[in-house]
Amino acid sequence: MGISFNHVTHLYPGVKRKEYTLALEDVSLDINEKNEFIAIVGKTGSGKSTLIQHMNALKLPTKGTVSIFDNVITPKKRKNPKLKNVRKRVGFVFQFPEYQLFEETVLKDIMFAPINFGMKKEEAEQKALEIAKLLGISHLLKKSPCNLSGGQMRKVAIAGILSYDPDILLLDEPTRGLDPKGQVEIMELFYKIHKETGKTIILITHDMDLVYQYATRVIVLNDTKITYDGDKVKLFLDGIYKDNNLTKPEVLKLIDYLNNKFHYNIDYNTFTLDDLLSKLKEVA
Ligand SMILES: Nc1ncnc2c1ncn2[C@@H]1O[C@H](COP(=O)(O)OP(=O)(O)OP(=O)(O)O)[C@@H](O)[C@H]1O
Ligand SMILES: [Mg+2]
């Protein structure tokens, strides 16, 4: 098993003593080491970021345990295993990438983690150049990460994670702040990595079109609890999405319209507008 949550509750301390915010309540969950593309969705403040920060021990549970590649993380900091092994295997791209970048230059920033995990400098540099090319940010390598746009920072943060090749990738709203072309490129890159290497990818997003196109499993959070964990078609077919304040993907809205108005019989196993277009061509 890759990551397992065993009755995890997380409380954030408040400003006053004995005041707390409940962010996760009694969450149990199993995630495979390989071949999952999980979308975590839910309205703002529902606990999504808190949940994935437990997946590489950035947060410790207040109650319960999280097992990450057999490293058991408990509420007691001192008793926990060394986190370096966990962090190397589970890479995290933050919701706010500016908190993740701190080196003098973009190149040094991308090289930081692989060197920290024991890679030789020359090898780390080679790897950084390769990944920068893949992400189309080679022209930024000499700049200071502080002087980049939000979207560029996000790409640098992603490059910094890909550079040490973790087994599982955690992505907190990775397309936020990117232009439409950049969004497609980044998602296609993650999808390619997932397909070619079988790496498990865990993605938080508010974009239901992305969920419908890429996810193999959807986890819905609502007010600190998991309210749905399963197939994406069922989520939108059964109205469960409505109970959880989610919207339908555009492609499904179009299918509903076409089926109602023209009595087509297009099924919900149609994940993108291109898929829909091919089906319409068949009908025509
Ligand atoms: N550092 C913190 N200190 C105190 N409370 C926090 C902290 N971070 C989050 N919270 C609270 O915990 C709850 C869950 O927050 P979290 O950031 O996990 O939500 P989210 O689902 O990621 O939301 P969003 O979609 O807006 O990113 C919220 O009630 C939030 O106010
Ligand atoms: Mg969040």
* Strand pairing class (37-41; 63-68): unpaired
Taking the CA atoms of 127, 132, 138 and 141 in sequence, report the sign of the dihedral they define. Answer: negative
pLDDT band at 173 (very low <50, low <70, confident <90, very high): very high
- 268 pLDDT tier (thresholds 50, 70, 90): very high
Residue identified by tokens 């555009």 is 250
Contact 212, 249 (CB under 8 A): yes
Mutating to test ligand 1, I would choose from 10, 49, 52, 205 the residue with most ligand atoms within 8 A of its C-beta, which is 49
In this predicted structure, what is the pLDDT of residue 199?
95
pLDDT category of residue 17 using cuts at 50, 70 and 90: confident
Sheet holding 71-73, edge to edge: 20-31, 3-13, 63-68, 71-73
Task: Indicate which residue of 173, 188, 196, 250 is catalytic.
Answer: 173
Tokens representing residue 34 in the block: 């390989």
Report the share of the chain in percent with pLDDT over 70: 100
**Where along the chain do its domains lie?**
33-61+73-246, 249-284
Exposure on the CB side of residue 68, measured as CA atoms within 13 A? 30
Between 91-95, 110-114, 200-204, the lowest mean confidence (pLDDT) is in 91-95
Averaged pLDDT for residues 202-209: 97
Query: Would you identify the CATH topology of the domain 33-61+73-246?
Result: Rossmann fold (3.40.50)
Please say if the pLDDT value at position 1 is more than 90: no
pTM for the structure as a whole:
0.94
pLDDT of residue 79: 78
Query: Does the CB atom of residue 50 touch ligand 1 within 6 A?
Result: yes
Inform me whether the pLDDT recorded for 72 exceeds 90.
yes
Q: Is 173 a catalytic residue?
A: yes
Mean pLDDT of 109-115: 95
The arithmetic mean of pLDDT across residues 84-106, rounded, is: 89
Q: Find out whether the beta carbon of 244 lies less than 6 Å from any atom of ligand 1.
A: no
**CB of 102 closer than 6 angstroms to any ligand 1 atom:** no
Atom of ligand 1 nearest to the CA of 173: 27
Average pLDDT over residues 245-256: 97
Checking if the pLDDT of 34 tops 90, the result is yes
In whole angstroms, give the CA distance from residue 264 to residue 245. 28
Q: What length is written for the chain?
A: 284
- 224 Cβ inside 6 Å of ligand 1: no
**Ligand 1 pocket, mutate which of 27, 50, 58 (most atoms under 8 A from CB):** 50
